[in-house]
A and B are shown apart, each in its own frame.
Chain A
Amino acid sequence: MTTKTTKSPYWQGMAAGAPFVLVVVPLSILFGVVATEAGLSVFETMVMTTLVIAGAAQFTAVQLLSEGAPTLIALVTALAVNLRMAMYSASLTPHLGAAPVRHKALIAWLMVDQAYACGMLAYERNPGWSVAQKASFYFGTVSLIVPLWGVFTFVGAVVGEAIPPEFALDFAVPITFLAMIGPMLRTQAHMVAAGVAIIVSLFLAFLPYSIGVLLGGLAGMIAGAEAERQMAHRGIAI
């Protein structure tokens, strides 16, 4: 990361990840507040936030535990929320799979939605990048958001003050995700994938433990791939 050829992607990555600070800071404060209000100590909150680094899964686990759900249900549900990370891992593999194992372990630990989304966008725009440059970009994207995720979880946990509901921070996560969708919809196949995913996810929303989200995502993937295959078959440039 110190050589001249890989320095530039690192800073590009940091620039790409920087805007998400605006979302990560309020969310991490909120998690600190919610976790300590649910009865976690500051230490327990910090261990969870450092080990897991996944807002949606952490909120899910704390919410279910505070509702008195069985330990196994809380764990499995939170892991189900994180199942999309296996899909991220798979789709990053063509770009980062050749990196050294210790780098891949670090990439895995630091894998968050924003790093994945920024990374995939950058790798498609820079097909000439080496594995080292791609890894540098990835580490750049998380250099601000992951440390700040920890620091501001701590602030939230220590301050322990409830953020008034009129701030509507509940919608910070959906808005982040929604903002990522527009730039991803580059072809008709992407739109088919997103449309099918939304419809299936909503129709299966009655299923417990976010199973509808998983099946919706899977259906969208299959639909997008099939749309791409058919368009290629008919000779439509994609």
Chain B
Amino acid sequence: MTEIGTGIGTEIGTAALWTVIIGLGVGSFLLRFSFLGLIGDRELPVWVLRHLRYTGVAVIPALVAPLVVWPAATGGALDAPRMVAALVTVAVGLAFRNVIAAILAGGASLYLGLYLLG
């Protein structure tokens, strides 16, 4: 999802680009506004709330798992420094319940791993 353009791509047409810019801007706003705007302060059913409690803890791992197992930078090949950094990040986050400590530990692990193994 964060694959980086290699600069070898074709030239982007102006009409296509602006369609995507406007469409993505408006579409993203509608996705973000959807429930907040429509539901307002009405009570949601218990089963809906029960599911919503697990959105973040489900969607973020679902989003990140493929990025760890098939990293874009290595063309999708399993990569030891990135895998170790991922495990260190989650472990430190679990142990200390601190997001920034986890980010720093993960970053340090990644650079150390790339230095030692890369």
Where the two chains meet, the residues of A that have a C-beta atom closer than 8 Å to any C-beta of B are 19-20, 22-23, 30, 34, 37-40, 44, 47-48, 51-63, 65-68, 71, 74-75, 78-79, 81-94, 96-98, 101, 104-105, 107-109, 111, 113, 116-117, 120, 165-166, 168, 170-171, 173-185, 189-190, 193-198, 200-202, 205, 210, 212-214, 216-225, 228-229
Beyond A178-B86, A193-B58, A194-B61, is A183–B20 a contact (Cβ under 8 Å)?
Answer: no
Q: A38-B9, A174-B86, A182-B93 are known contacts. Are A75 and B24 too (CB-CB below 8 A)?
A: yes
Checking A65, A91, A170, A189 against B52 with a beta-carbon cut-off of 8 angstroms, the contacting residue is: A91
* Cβ A90 vs Cβ B32 within 8 A: no
Would you call B91 an interface residue if the criterion is a C-beta within 8 Å of the partner chain's C-beta atoms? yes
For A37, A198, A210, which residue has the most chain B Cβ atoms within 10 angstroms?
A: A198
Chain A hits for B19, CB < 8 A: 71, 75
Given contacts A55-B2, A217-B63, contact A170 B73 (CB under 8 A): yes
A180: contacting residue among B51, B93, B107, CB under 8 A:
B93
A sample of 16 inter-chain contacts (CB < 8 A) reads: A23-B103, A66-B5, A92-B35, A97-B41, A104-B37, A107-B36, A108-B36, A170-B73, A175-B89, A182-B89, A182-B95, A182-B97, A202-B66, A205-B66, A218-B58, A229-B50
- In whole angstroms, how far apart are the Cα atoms of A165 and B118 in the complex? 12
- Let me know if A59 and B3 touch, CB within 8 A: yes
Distance of A214 from chain B, by nearest CB (Å): 8
Size band of the B side of the interface?
Answer: 35 or more
- Per a CB cutoff under 8 Å, which of B2, B36, B50, B73 touches A225? B50
User: Given contacts A78-B24, A90-B52, are A85 and B9 in contact (CB under 8 A)?
Assistant: no
CB distance from B9 to the nearest CB of A (A): 3
State the Cβ distance, B44 to closest chain A Cβ, in Å.
7
B16 A178 Cβ-Cβ under 8 A? no
A97: chain B residues at CB < 8 Å are 35-36, 39-42
**Candidates A23, A59, A217; contact of B62 at CB < 8 Å:** A217
- Seed contacts A177-B64, A182-B91; 15 additional CB < 8 Å A-B pairs: A75-B23, A79-B24, A82-B24, A90-B39, A107-B32, A170-B72, A171-B71, A179-B89, A181-B60, A183-B97, A185-B94, A221-B51, A221-B52, A223-B58, A228-B53
Which residues in window 56-103 of B have CB below 8 A to A? 56-73, 81-82, 85-86, 89-100, 102-103
Residues of A within 8 A of B27 (CB): 75, 79, 82
Give the complex CA separation of A213 and B61 in angstroms. Answer: 9
Q: Which of B41, B91, B118 has the most CB of A within 10 A?
A: B41
User: Across the A-B interface, how many residue pairs have beta carbons closer than 8 Å?
Assistant: 337
Q: List, in ascending order, chain A residues with CB within 8 A of B21's CB.
A: 44, 47-48, 51-52
Contact A178-B24, Cβ < 8 Å, known A97-B39, A165-B73? no
- A60→B24 CA distance, assembly (Å): 11
Given contacts A52-B25, A59-B2, A170-B71, contact A179 B114 (CB under 8 A): no
Q: What B residues does A171 contact at CB under 8 A?
A: 71, 73, 82, 85, 110
Q: A117 to nearest B CB, angstroms?
A: 6
Chain A residues closer than 8 Å to B110, beta-carbon distance: 168, 171, 175
Complex Cα gap A214–B55 (Å): 11
